[in-house]
Amino acid sequence: MNHAILLPIILPLVTAILLILLSGRRRIIRTISLLSTIALVAVSIVLLMQANDGQIRLYAPGNWAPPFGIILVLDRLSAMMLAVTAVLAFFSIAYAVRGHDAPGDRLHGMVHFLLVGLNGAFLTGDLFNLFVFFEILLISSYGLLLHGRGVERARSGLHYVIVNLIGSALFLLGVSALYGITGSLNMADLGDKMSKLDPADAPLAATAGILLLVVFGLKAAMAPFYFWLPRAYAAASAPVAAMFAIMTKVGVYAIIRVYTQIFGDNAGELANFAWFWLWPIALVTLVMGLLGALSARELRVQIAYLVIVSVGTLLAGIALNREAGLAASLYYLVHSTLICGAMFLLADLILRQRGELLDHIAEGPRLRQSALLGTLFFIGAMAIAGLPPFSGFIGKLLLLSAAGANDDTLVLWLIVLGGSLITLIALSRSGSMFFWQTTDQIESAPAADKGALLAVVGLLCCVGAVTVAASPVLEYTQAVARQLLEPGAYFQAMQQFRVR
Amino acid sequence: MEALVAIVIAVLVSCGVYLLLRARTFPVILGLTLISYAVNLFIFVMGRLRSGAPAVIGSSETYADPIPQALVLTAIVIGFAMTAFLLVLSLRARAELGNDHVDGGAAIGEKPSKPVRPLEEDEV
């Protein structure tokens, strides 16, 4: 067995425990935290290169042969998600260690626990284990969100926790109903059992499937389950909000995994039933996100709504249920995660130079580093709106060409193209308020920390790299899509798998 | 017996949903607790109901499915931890917001909340 598969879970786990034990020694904590994320990036790149040969690697932590024990699965999709998470975590931590992890030093330990949950969720091949990793990432995210004082944090945290607890209950109902019908929790095995399902059990299995869709939709913040997101993300501290950019994508990942693997082409009567629901929901999510971005009063709320827009775009591509659509969506996923993270960090740098106004979109004093932050904001806004030459443009172009031009997809064309325009209008409103429509006085805030600036620039450079290297990245996401749409290969890999 | 258990689960869930829709944090926590009880029962029942069948092979003629029992244990532990967390959180919200309304007592027409200010490094 290839023990490296375990590293993305073990490494942050050990780091997190260590950081909690070291509580109080800020310098050491920051160093270890940063070094650990660098190691995580290295590990995930190694795994990405391994997975790129198209082979599906399995790991049985308890040494029980599947489908009975829990297995971890490394395929192209999970390797890609691991890499994106690690890169985002590195830049978030790099931003946090420059004095933005106040108060205290507990933030680092919780971020690493969050990474345990995220990486575990991406790697696991077992539905109940997915639930457990979801809970790990959720409880760390509760802690991270509430970290530090603030009335608004308590308020939005309460909503976030309650909504997610209801989601967990529904998740358990869905999982156990599936177990009751099929007698299995292994995703590949479930996919196989679905193809041999007794037609009398099909409605029950569909109910379980819809319950799971609701749960994953809640995590992904799709309409109508996104109301918790904007306030929570706007209230979180900057490195946490940047880390949360991947949290919605976990929901999207789970949707892709479950509805291609379990309810995919081979699922008999229930084959691809989720896409019928997902398509209109994705379009509504897009529209609601855009309206929210237009009406936001604060920059962080605006970016949070743009996260919802990106989720809508992703889900629309997935709901097309074509290889090209899935590949385009996955490309867009990489882009949108990185750029949303970068924008949350940038918003923090901007609001620190605006005195009491913070990120409220209103006329205020001129920023101390108006030109520098303005340039970064301009680049970020172009990328997030999907204007050429940035990767958002490539992602949207691929999505629209995958959708093709017919009556069904006409509305997608309208929303995606109109959406770019609306995003641009919303961001130019806030951008011109921050950088141009200012009073003559300059706020006496300290200049932005160089290290923190580097973290933002680094994330923006990653977006740039996804643009420049669009061809290899796209080749990879196309390979991911091909692998996903052939769930048989995964099942075969599992049957041939022998524990030692 | 199946019908009875189903009715119990249904009653628990409906009471839970009713309490969840209350505006105060304490009934909401009670509602979540009731729902998690119902969910735990549901998971247990998914291993089918049998009496006199221990979850050990060989100790009697028939045996019960051990997996749902293991799942229930996990679900109970996680549910318990989450409820404890939510209790502490709602106490903090009560202290910070000055009331126990789930929306923090934001009345209609109240001024929008202020953006959250980031803390400086040495602030405690």
Per-residue model confidence as pLDDT tens digits over B48-82 = 888 888 888 887 888 888 899 999 999 999 999 99
Does residue B108 carry a pLDDT above 50?
Answer: no
Query: Is the Cα dihedral A65, A68, A69, A73 positive or negative?
Result: positive
Residue A416 banded pLDDT, cuts 50, 70, 90:
very high
> Which residues in chain B are contacts of A443 at CB distance < 8 A?
none
Output the pLDDT for position A89: 97
Residue A408 banded pLDDT, cuts 50, 70, 90:
confident
Question: Nearest CA of chain A to the CA of B83: how many Å?
Answer: 9
Of B43, B96, B121, the CB nearest to A151: B96
Question: A459 and A342 in contact (C-beta within 8 Å)?
Answer: yes
Question: Nearest CA of chain A to the CA of B122: how many Å?
Answer: 7
CB–CB contact A358 B117 (8 Å): yes
Q: Which of 3.30.70, 1.10.238, 1.10.287, 2.60.40 is the CATH number of B2-50+65-97? A: 1.10.287
The DSSP call for residue B2 is H
Model pLDDT for residues A160-191, shown as the tens digit of each residue: 999 999 999 999 999 999 999 999 999 999 99
Of B43, B121, B123, the CB nearest to A176: B43
What does the pLDDT average to over A95-107? 84
Q: How many CB pairs under 8 A join A and B?
A: 128
A236-240, A266-270, B85-89, range with the lowest pLDDT: A266-270
> Which residues in chain B are contacts of A348 at CB distance < 8 A?
118
CB–CB contact B85 A153 (8 Å): no
Average pLDDT, chain B: 86
- Give the residue from chain A lying closest to B46, CA to CA: A180
Give the tokens for residue A176.
Answer: 């156990």
Does residue B96 carry a pLDDT above 90?
Answer: no
CB–CB contact B78 A151 (8 Å): no
Question: Nearest CA of chain A to the CA of B80: how many Å?
Answer: 11
Closest CA to A239 of A430, A106, A402: A106
> Which residues in chain A are contacts of B110 at CB distance < 8 A?
none
CA distance A274 to A278: 6
Give the tokens for residue A499.
Answer: 């524990």
Of A152, A161, A172, the CB nearest to B116: A152
For residues A447 and A347, the model is more confident at: A347
Mutate: best of A100, A145, A152, A353, partner B, most B CBs <10 A = A152
Model pLDDT for residues A359-402, shown as the tens digit of each residue: 888 888 888 888 999 999 999 999 999 888 888 999 999 999 99
- Give the residue from chain B lying closest to A135, CA to CA: B78
> Which residues in chain B are contacts of A169 at CB distance < 8 A?
32, 35-36, 39
CB–CB contact B115 A102 (8 Å): no
- Give the residue from chain B lying closest to A361, CA to CA: B115
Of A128, A153, A348, the CB nearest to B71: A128
CB–CB contact A154 B93 (8 Å): yes
Q: Model-level pTM? A: 0.94
- Give the residue from chain A lying closest to B47, CA to CA: A180
Of B39, B67, B86, the CB nearest to A169: B39
Model pLDDT for residues A267-279, shown as the tens digit of each residue: 878 888 889 999 9
Question: Nearest CA of chain A to the CA of B52: how many Å?
Answer: 20
> Which residues in chain A are contacts of B124 at CB distance < 8 A?
103-104
Output the pLDDT for position B105: 65
The domain spans of chain B are 2-50+65-97
What does the pLDDT average to over A142-171? 89
What does the pLDDT average to over A460-480? 95
What does the pLDDT average to over A474-493? 91
Does residue B112 carry a pLDDT above 60?
Answer: no
Output the pLDDT for position A100: 84
CB–CB contact B97 A128 (8 Å): no
> Which residues in chain B are contacts of A128 at CB distance < 8 A?
71, 74
Burial of A284 from C-beta contacts in 10 A (0-12 / 13-18 / 19+)? middle
A58-72, A153-167, A286-300, B107-121, range with the lowest pLDDT: B107-121
Mutate: best of B12, B116, B122, partner A, most A CBs <10 A = B116
Output the pLDDT for position B111: 53
Average pLDDT, chain A: 92
Model pLDDT for residues A39-97, shown as the tens digit of each residue: 999 999 999 999 999 899 999 988 888 888 889 999 999 999 999 999 999 999 999 99
Model pLDDT for residues A322-369, shown as the tens digit of each residue: 899 999 999 999 999 999 999 999 999 999 888 888 888 888 888 888
CA distance A246 to A252: 10
